Chain A
Amino acid sequence: MKTISEKILSNRSGVDAESGEIVAVPVDLVFAHDGTLPLAIQQLGDHIVKHPKKVVAFCDHASPSPSEKVSNVQAFMRQFARRYGMDFYENGDGICHQIVLERYASPYKVIVGGDSHTCTHGALGAFATGMGSTDVAAVMAHGKTWLKVPETIRVEVSGELPQHVHSKDVFLELVSQITADGATYKALEFCGETVEAMSVESRATLSNMAIEAGAKVGLCAADEKVKAYLTRYGRSNDFKALYPDEGAVYAKQVHISADTAVPLIAKPHRVDNVVPVTELEGTELDQVCIGSCTNGRIEDLRDAACILKGHRSRARLVVYPASRGVLLDALKEGIVETFLKAGASIGPPGCGFCIGRTVALGDDEVALSTQNRNFKGRMGNDKSFIYLSSPSTAAASAIEGRITDPRNRDS
């Protein structure tokens, strides 16, 4: 009887793997970006890349390049990718995780990314985990990685989410219960009727945030919705159904009730510092940020636009779609017009505000963002304050220029 992790790692390692065992597995996809690939290339040294077609490079963290130093770093990456004929995503193509979701990830794949939010791809049933540059170099050289098969924490979400309450709020509730290291070394498996009712995009927010509880991976079953998502992106052949076995053994079970869920906020400077939005209503905001690998997908932009339509933002409003495809869809649906009329600055698809490299805050400024992390200095200034929320809460708050409960607005 196996958990999703045990199934994938047994399948790929060729051994009957159980939690706690160390296995060596071939890696189906290894990727890194402008923050992590240069160091990986240095660590690779004189070794040759074994499977160049399984390596993908992205310029997304500082994109388009804001300085000559970054341009030189990106040129270094570009030369490397060209030498091997690897897929290379340029400035404005989008965030690595969004492109990997759209074009590469699928059930049963083992994916190593040089970025902690690689766990996002668990939403498509992939064993996807973030590692550092040396591990990325070792995978490039050897085509495999070693892993300890993790124990799993089963997170069952039941009931129906009320209007304006979303998967981001479900995760914030989870991390407030288990804390920032509650899932360290473990896999999270998200299941239950609420997760089944969520779209793949919505589940991707849960999987993306798994690392904020310390988890190795954040997995969802690969069901008919995953099949439909892959089909939408021309990858129906990559689908394989994947569910945990009845009777699989879990280290812990957590239950979250969707019926009683409310919009939540993570306060500075920790992701598990969570309170209901009602406790912070009225907090003045300098900037509202909508986007990131957590909540920069078309559904997220729709949720925000639905609330913003016909209104102007009182706070500075910055919107970064997660990929070129998302931006194109947003244009077609009139969402970009809604944001522009609300006073938003629309950024090129990429990480943008999330890591403070191309968008930064001033001293003592307060931001509300749909990203995944609010550590001190995360957005480029250690004298600023970052609150985290869902896109709906962010949109409602932008209109008022203060933290606002989205349930109090007409949608």
Chain B
Amino acid sequence: MNIKGEVVRVFPSDTNTDEIISGKYKYDELDLNKLAKHTFESIDSHFYEDCQLLRNPILVAAANFGCGSSREQAPQVLKACGISCIIAESFARIFYRNSFNIGLPLVECAGISKEMARGEDLEVNFDAGVIRNEDRQIELHFKPIPTFMQELLEKGGLMPYLDACGGYTD
């Protein structure tokens, strides 16, 4: 799998799910496309609009991205904004699991937040574990995601994956 896109933002360490989508909205709205308009509202009010301007926006972050509340609305709104993948130094575990469960690709890559800037063109090769920054002409390597997680992405998330497998083997 390959993703070619542009870095829409670089977020700092410990960007949390309350910042991604505030608790004051998540109970009101089951339509994720409407909810997406409030993504990062408290810290970055142009995020949603800027994502609409790009073909395959890629989000880059430092450590512990998505920490805090387990709200699945967090990766859901990012996906609804059009984010094609998120590359971070590390992810909080519930966010990591939630993203794969809904078919949003994540990549953990050391040093990423220092080597990428807003607006730069990237190509992410999931099989080889390579990120190429076209603007800086540099490559970063990451440990390819486990096969099982790639299968989750290919099937579009956990529910379709389990359906395809016929559930858990006993």
Contact = CB atoms under 8 A, between A and B. Distances in A.
Interface of A: 22, 24, 34-36, 38-39, 42-45, 47, 61-62, 67, 69-70, 73, 76, 114-116, 130-135, 137-138, 141-142, 144, 146, 180-181, 184-185, 211, 214, 216, 270, 355-357, 360, 373, 375-378, 380, 382
Interface string B62-91: 011001111111011000000000000010
Contact of B14 (A69, A116, A181): A181
B28 A70 contact: yes
B47 to A, nearest CB: 14
A161 B84 CA distance: 50
A181 B22 contact: no
A138 B16 contact: no
B98 A135 contact: yes
The 3 closest A-B pairs by CB, nearest first: A132-B72, A132-B98, A382-B42
A130 B70 contact: yes
A375 B18 contact: yes
A45 B28 contact: no
Contacts of B98: 131-135
A216 B94 CA distance: 8
Contact of B159 (A114, A137, A216, A360): A137
A375 B21 CA distance: 12
Interface size bucket, B side? 35 or more
Contacts of A216: 93
B101 A134 contact: yes
B72 A39 contact: yes
A181 B94 contact: no
B164 interface: no
Contact of B101 (A47, A132, A377): A132
A132 B93 contact: no
A355 B90 CA distance: 26
Contacts of B64: 180-181, 184, 214
A116 B72 contact: no
Contact of A47 (B14, B23, B24, B159): B159
B28 A181 contact: no
A153 B25 CA distance: 36
Interface in B30-76: 30, 42-43, 63-64, 67-73, 75-76
A116 B19 contact: no
Between B27, B30, B72, B92, the greatest number of chain A beta carbons within 10 A of the residue's beta carbon is seen for B27
Given A24-B169, A138-B158, 7 more contacts: A39-B30, A43-B159, A73-B27, A181-B14, A211-B94, A270-B14, A376-B19
11 contacts: A35-B27, A36-B71, A39-B76, A45-B159, A70-B27, A73-B30, A130-B70, A134-B102, A134-B159, A357-B24, A377-B42
A380 B23 CA distance: 7
Contacts of A181: 14, 63-64, 67, 90, 92
B157 interface: yes
A360 B26 CA distance: 15
Contact of A38 (B19, B30, B42, B92): B30
Nearest to A25: B168
Contacts of A356: 22-24
A113 to B, nearest CB: 8
B140 interface: no
A115 B17 CA distance: 12
A131 B159 contact: no
Contact of B70 (A47, A131, A355, A378): A131
Given A70-B27, A131-B94, A180 B67 contact: yes
A299 to B, nearest CB: 26
Contacts of A355: 23
B162 interface: yes
A88 B5 CA distance: 45
Nearest to A144: B168
A180 B92 CA distance: 10
